Structure 1
Amino acid sequence: MRDTLTKLDRPTIYEIYPRSFRDTTGTGEGDLAGILNGLDHVAALGVDAIWIAPFYPSPRADGGYDVTDHCAVDSRLGTLEDFDHIVEKAHALGLGVMVDLVLKHTSLDHPWFVAAVEGDDTAAARYVWRDAKPDGTAPTNWISYFGGPAWTWNHKRRQYYLHQYASEQPALDHRNPDVQAEIRAIMDFWTARGVDGFRFDAVTSWFHDPDFRDNPAAPPDERSRIEGLPFNPYTHQFHRHDMMPQEGAAHMARIRDWAGPDVFLMGENNFGIASVEIALEYTGPERLDACYTTDTVKCGAGLAVWDELLSAINGTWRLPWWFESHDQARSPTQLGDGTAAAARFLALLGGVLPGALMLYQGQELGLPQPHLDRKDVEDPYDLAFWPDGPGRSGARVPIPWTEAPGTWGFTDGTPWLPMRWAPGASIAAQEADPDSALAFQRKVLKLRRALELARPERFAHDTADGVLRLEMETGAGRFVAGFNFCDQARPVPEGGEVVLSSGVDNGQMRPRGAVLRRA
C-alpha cells in the first residue's frame, strides 16, 4: 500500500498511455496487464512514479478522455484487479502510481448526461445548459479548443450544452455540490486502492463565467500568446469568460483538502497567456504540488522561450519540465531534427532542470514522430486540422519492444496504429547498445538523482551567444551545464570534470550539443 512510499517530492514521472504501451491479449491494443509486464523496464530507467493516462470505460471519442465511469476499468483494458496488481508491483519496485482524472467533462454516455437528456433536472444541473438566443443561435460566442463552437444543441432538452473541447465531452459545472461530492468520492476511491497521486486534465478550464458574457476578440498580434494551433479560430479570442483560471486556482485548496496532505497533485495548464503566473497560483503548500504549462513544447522553442520561462519561475520550481506527451508530437522531431542526437540534447536538458520532470513512454528511446496516413487517424483534434494538426495520433503509435517486423513485440495481433519504426528503435535493440538513446537517458536520470539536481540550493542561468548556460549548486557539489541552441559550434562552458555530454568535440559543442560538468 501507499505507506511503502513517502510523498512524492519533485519526482521524475513516466507517462503511460495504456492503449499503446503493451498488448498481452492479441487485440492490437495495449492493456493493464501489459503495463504490469513493462514495469521492470520503467523502474530500470530511474524514474520515481508512473502516470497512467485514462483507462476508464469510454466510447473513445477523444482517446479515452471522454469518461463514462471514473471508478471502473474499461473491459478492453482489463479489470480493477489488474489495476491493483500494477499498484502492488509498482510499490515493490519503489514507484509511485498516479492516475489521470478527467474532471472538466464526461462522456455523452455518462449516466448523469443520459439522465439529463431524458429530463432529470437534478442531473442536468451538473452540466452547463443554456437556452438559445431568440434567433436560435448559441448562448455565447465561445469557441472550443478543438476549433468549432463550444455549444451543441440537444433537441430533447431544446437547449445548448457547453463543451470547451469535443462535442462528445459535455462540461461539468464545478460549482455544483453534486459534482464536488462526486469528485471527492472519485479521489477517495483511488487513494483507497493505493494511488499516490493524481494528474488533473485541463485544470485551468474547470470554471466559466456564470454571467455567460461573450469573449472579446484577440488582436492579430496577440494571437500567438493564446494556447492553440495558430490557424485555429480558438486563438482569435481572449478566453476571459469561457475559462476562468483564477477561480480554479482558489478551488485547488478544496481539492487539496479532499486529497489530504500525502497525495501528489499535478495539474495541466493549457491556458496560454500568463501561463507561469497561473501555474504558480494553482500550486503551493495548500494547493497542487505542481502545474505544468506548454511553454517548453512549443514548436521551435529556443533561447528566448527559455530565458523568459526561467526568469518567470524565479526559483519556485513548481512547474514540471516536459517535452512530449500523448497530446504532443515526439520531441526529437518537434523540437529538433528527429535524430538520436536531438533526443540526447533534450534528455540532458530536462535532466538537469530543478523541479519535477515528466517523460512520455518511448521518449527514453529517442523515438521520432512517425508518419501516419489520414485513414489511420482517429484523433478528433488531428482530423479537424488534417494534415496540420498537433500530431497526437503519431505520439500514440505503440512503442517498440523488440525488432519483430510489423508488431515490434508490442502485440501478437495487428497494432491499432501502424508501427513503422526504423531498425534499432526497440527496447531490445537499445538494451544491447551502450551508445543508444536509452542508455543515455538512464545515465541522465541516474545523475539527476545522485547529484540532487531536482533540488538545487542555488541556480542561475544566462543565454549569451546562443547557449543556455546553467549554474547549479546542490548537496553534491557545484555544476555548470551548457546547451547550444544556435547553428554554429560554441565553446564548452568552463569548469572541471565533464560528467556527461552529447555532441561535444575538442572543447566545442556542435549545434544541439550539450554538456554537464563540475564547476
Structure 2
Amino acid sequence: MNEPINWWKKSVVYQVYPKSFNDSDGDGIGDLNGITEKLDYIKELGADIIWLNPIYDSPHVDNGYDIANYRKIDSSLGNMSDFDRLLHLAHKKGLKIMLDLVVNHTSDQHPWFKKSEESKENSYHDYYIWKDPVDGHEPNNWGSSFGGSTWEYVEAVDQYYLHLFAKQQPDLNWENSNVRKEVHDIMRFWLDKGIDGFRMDVINLISKKPGFPDGPIVQNKKFGDYYYGAANGPKVHEYLKEMNQDVLSKYDIVTVGETPHTNVEEAVKYVDNRRHELDMVFHFDHMHLDYGKYGKFSTKRFKLADLKAVLSKWQIEISNHHGWNSLYWSNHDQARAVSRFGDDGEHRVASAKMLGTLLHMMQGTPYVYEGEEIGMTNLHNTQIADYNDLETLDVYHRFRNDYHLSEEDTMKAIHMKSRDNARTPMQWDDSNNAGFSTSNSTWLKVNSNFKKINVKQSKSDSNSIFYYYQKLIKLRHEYQIVTTGSYQLLDKENSDIFSYARVGDNTTLLVICNFAKKKVDYLVPLELRHMQHELLISNGKKDDWNVAGNINLEPYAARVYLIKTAN
C-alpha cells in the first residue's frame, strides 16, 4: 500500500468518557480538570490522541449525546477555561485532542428546536424533520433505537418530528443548507481553538431516504427498522464532501465517522482518500457477531471463524480502496472487551493481552477505551435500579413486559451487554470509589472488583496488562511494517487460533493469537518456518519456536514475530 503516511496512521487513540474518568471536585462526576490531572498517565501509556465523548451543555437524557449548546461546556464537567487549559497542557505534552461531533440530532432543549416547535412559519421549523399525520397516525412505522416510535407529535404545529433516538433528541434536517452551514460554523469554532479532529456520531444517518418509506418489521415488533430509511442515505456523501471542502480540508486533523449498519462495500465510499470525505469509520460488523434472537442483548458467544472473516475482510477491502481502518474492541456503547471477547475469569490477564495483540498489530488506528489497558471487566449489578443507561432500562422493561422473560434471563443479558458496563468509573486504586472521586456517591456505581483491578495495582506489576499495552503501542511507533505492511490471514480453518501476517518488502510480522482456554500447538507456515525470526512481544513464554516450526501456545497466548524474508 503506497499511500501517504499521515500522522494519525501511526497514532493510537485513548478514549475518555469524561463523566467516568476522574472527578477533581468531589461531586461524584468526572470532569475536565480530572482529565487534565491524568494527562501524564495517558502519555505514559504511549497514546497519541485523546478522544473525548461529548463535553457540551446537555440535559443528559442520553449522557451528553443530546446537546443543547454546542459552544458551551456542560457545567457538570467545568467551563471553557478548563477546556482551554486541558487542550493547552495536552498539546504541551505532545498529546492531541479529538472531540465528539453529534450533528445528526440535537437536544429538544436546543434553542433551534425550541423555535422550531413554536410555529410552521418560524424559520427554524425547517431545521428539523417535521411531517404531517397520515390518517391521524405517525408518518411511517419507524421504530426508535431506544424503543417506541421515531415520531413525536406536537399539538402546536399539528405535526410529528423525527427522532431516531430518544424523543428528546430530534433529528436535524440536513436538506436545509442553513443547517449544514450552522454545523460547519460549530466545527470551525472548535478547530480554531486548536483541537485535532472529530469523531462523528452516527454520521451516516444524516441523509434520510426520500419519501420516508415504512421499514421492515423485525421479530413481530410493532415498529419497523428505521435504519432501512436512514443509514447511508442518498445525499450523505454529498454532505460529507461539502463538509470536507468547506471545513475539514482547511485543517491538519483526523476524522472518524461512526457508521452503524454499514458494510465494507459501503464504507469504502466514506474512507477512500481520493473521494475527500472521512479518514476512517467505525464499523459494527464484529460487534454484531454475538447478536441473536434479541439483537444486541442476546447472550450467545461469537464464533472465531466469523471474527476472522469479518476483520480480515475489512483489513483487505479498506486497504484495496485507498482507505484506512479504525481498530477497536470496545467503547462507551459496548461491553468490556475482555468480558465479551476474552475470559474475564481465570484468564483475564492473558486474554486481555491477547486481544490487544490481535488488534494493535493490524493495519489501522487502534482505539483504547479507558480501563481496557488494565483489563476492566463488565459489572454485575444485581438489580436494575443500579443501572443508569437509557437503552438498558428500555431493554429491561421490554424483556420483562413484552417478551415475558424471567428476571434472571433479563439480568443475564444486561450483565453481558449493557452500555453501563463501559461507563463505570475508572478504577485508579483500591481506595474509596476506586480513587475516582472523594464523594460519598458517584454518578454510576464503581465496579465491585476495583480492589483487585486498578491502575495502582497494574503499575506495580511489571507483567501487567498496562505495561503490555505500553509495549504494543511502542512497537507501532517503532516498526513501520505495523503501519504499512499488507495483511494476509493464515490458517483460516483453525478453530482455536487467529493468525495473520503483515507483509513488507524485506520483513514479515507473524501474529499468532490463541482464543482457546487450553494449550494449543501452532505450526508456522512452511514458507516462513526456516527464516530468521525475532520474538517482538509475547504474553507468556519466551521464544519457543522449535526447529520444526512448532510453537506451543498457552491458553489465550499471543506471539508476534518479526521475520526477515530477504537479505
TM-score (normalised: structure 1): 0.91
Provide the rounded CA distance (Å) in 2 between the counterparts of 1:508 and 1:25: 51
1:448 pairs, out of 473, 476, 488, with 476
Distance 2:464 2:178 in 1: 51
Q: Per-residue deviation at 1:456?
A: 2.4
The alpha carbon displacement at 1:497 in A equals 2.4
Counterpart check, 1:502 vs 2:532? no
Superposed counterparts of 1:101-116, under 5 Å: 101-116=101-116
Q: Give the conservation status (yes or no) of the 8 Å contact 1:24–1:411.
A: yes
Paired residues of 1:482 and 1:493 also in contact (CA < 8 A): no
Residue 248 of structure 1: aligned partner? 236
State which of 319, 324, 331 in structure 2 corresponds to 1:325: 331
Q: Is the deviation greater in 457-466 or in 358-367?
A: 457-466
Residue type of the alignment partner of 1:22? N
Question: Do residues 311 (structure 1) and 340 (structure 2) align?
Answer: no
Q: Select the residue among 418, 428, 432 that pairs with 1:401.
A: 428
Instruction: State the match for 1:277 in structure 2.
Output: 265
Contact 1:246 1:278 in 2 (8 A): no
Contact 1:455/1:474 (CA < 8 Å) preserved in 2?
no
Residue 403 of structure 2 aligns with which residue?
none
Distance 1:482 1:245 in 2: 39
- CA distance in structure 2 between the partners assigned to 1:28 and 1:145 by the alignment: 29
CA distance in 1, matches of 2:518, 2:81: 55
Question: Does structure 2 conserve the Cα–Cα contact (< 8 Å) formed by 1:174 and 1:206?
Answer: yes
Deviation at 1:233, TM superposition (A): 7.2
TM alignment of 1:65-464, pairs within 5 A = 65-119=65-119, 121-134=122-135, 136-217=136-217, 237=225, 239-257=227-245, 258-261=247-250, 262-272=252-262, 275-285=263-273, 286-298=276-288, 299=290, 300-301=301-302, 302-314=304-316, 315-316=319-320, 318-338=324-344, 339-372=348-381, 373-386=383-396, 387=411, 388-389=413-414, 390-405=417-432, 407-413=433-439, 414-419=441-446, 420-462=448-490, 463-464=492-493
Cα offsets for 1:472-499 (capped at 9, x unmatched)? 1348942201112345533245352222
Contact 1:205 1:271 in 2 (8 A): no
Q: Hey, what's the Cα distance between the residues in 1 that align with 2:264 and 2:538? A: 30
SS at match of 2:85: helix
Identity rate, percent: 29
Worse-matched range after superposition: 413-422 or 182-191 = 413-422
Q: Does the Cα contact within 8 Å between 1:129 and 1:161 map onto a contact in 2?
A: yes
- Tell me the alpha carbon deviations over residues 102-146 of structure 1, each in whole angstroms, 9 at most, x when there is no partner: 001000100011111222531110000111112x21000111222
Instruction: Kindly provide the CA deviation profile for residues 274-296 of structure 1, in whole angstroms up to 9, marking residues without a partner as x.
Output: x2122211113211001111123
What is the CA distance between 1:325 and its match in structure 2? 0.5
Supply the RMSD in Å over aligned alpha carbons.
2.2
The answer to whether the 8 A contact 2:164-2:226 is kept is no
Counterpart for residue 227 of structure 1: none
Counterpart amino acid of 1:121? N
Secondary structure of the structure 2 residue equivalent to 1:371:
coil
- The one-letter amino acid paired with 1:318 is W
Helix, strand or coil at the partner of 1:24: coil
Partner Cα distance (2:486, 2:156) in 1: 61
Task: Supply the AA of the counterpart residue of 1:267.
Answer: G
Answer whether contact 2:205 2:232 (CA < 8 A) is retained. Answer: yes
**1:242–1:465 Cα change, 3 Å:** closer
- TM-aligned CA deviation for residue 7 of structure 1: 4.8
1:224 counterpart residue number = none
Compare 22-31 and 77-86 and name the one that shifted more.
Answer: 77-86
* Larger Rg, first or second structure (1 or 2): 2
Structure 2: any 5+ residue segments left out of the alignment? 1-5, 291-300, 397-410, 545-550
